[in-house]
A and B are shown apart, each in its own frame.
Chain A
């Protein structure tokens, strides 16, 4: 069957078998992926992708089934599995599917791959790396073109579809100079055209330059509490954790989310504004609709320190009585601040600039600790040397309240737009 035939077949079959509410999401497309290991091409992979996700509600009980085949036998098995799950389930009046809205089709990105140019761009990247950063070893490089067509249909008559195509790459590398080596680091991003050399993308060159400055790393001495500048390469991870832990669906349903009663209230420094903006032109192929069948809109999470939204699906919203999120795509954009990065560094007497955080999963109350990787120590307003074996610890809820400055400069990687953020009150300890 074609994608549309498979989707329609599943929708109708489930209704005929007694499901009152049905939502089907299917996808079809392909991926062209080029891999290099230890600086040499190693693999070219083509994936013909397909999937069908079925959600049914029968007599108030939900069940789900998934198959990655449009074959009738596989679909029939997934239909039977979803119905069996629903029949075994429990009545939950908060379950449901998206209400009827205007049917829409979205097209974004580049809809066919130029694999020859992609190959040439990777070759150029590896040659430029060898020429300009000879002490950096490229451990792994993966570049791909992804073409994806998503179709969502439900028994309320919702029909939303998207056709998208994009390129992305990821790289992992480390510095080596005789017996000396650095921690590995990684960088990558998403884009729709191949007009720019990959090495000039986002912070790629900056991260390479930081790598070759990191050979003589030492731990900080002792333990102190001080400020840390988080670079765009780790700001996103921190803010995702903030929203997931304090305003995410699972802790809200469990009533353990710290910010469950804080909507519209000040939860962070007034310097901080960020949200998820799938329609921002800097975001590549932002999701135009949610997995549960609603059109996506741009959304502030925190505006000038005030909590504006939770991360809640339709189900989570009904279950908690709190507003549903305008989108769940995580296309993160943080508003720039009024400081420039050089001033931020100059303003720190004794602290760190952290490029990568390697830490344990933060606790539900926001406590976190981990290793400051690919990072540098700041002393008397200057970056004085690379770090190793140094841990940072703190609390995420306190960090967003203790923001000292946010940079004017931002970096876009196609999936996010992020500045540098300086925050105080972080425990810094060396080996």
Chain B
């Protein structure tokens, strides 16, 4: 409890004319409210846009996973034809190599040449997850016989 003297001081203090806030303060507070409201709206719009983007990204990711797991698509893990298991992602390379023998002159009804083509189709899988490389060779030989008059081989391999 305050004594009488301090109460008197209190009363004197209450009687003192205070410096009043400038008239512009009300306007500034109102403006501040308007700006804050606008800022909050902007933040809400930004937040919703960000949410939409995240949702779209999630949908895309789900679609990609579904596609990944569909037959024919690259699977997250599977088995090669020889039974070797692999883990995606894998890289698939195909290499073709072709060697042709020297043309043999064929004697007979007419002059002709015969060429044997040795073609190797090589398929490689690289399993990055396990750092292994699997390779299959598919050799094939076929023979071309053609009249001598042809100067160009009719078969081309890329």
A and B part of one assembly: no
B binding-site residues for A, Cβ under 8 Å: none
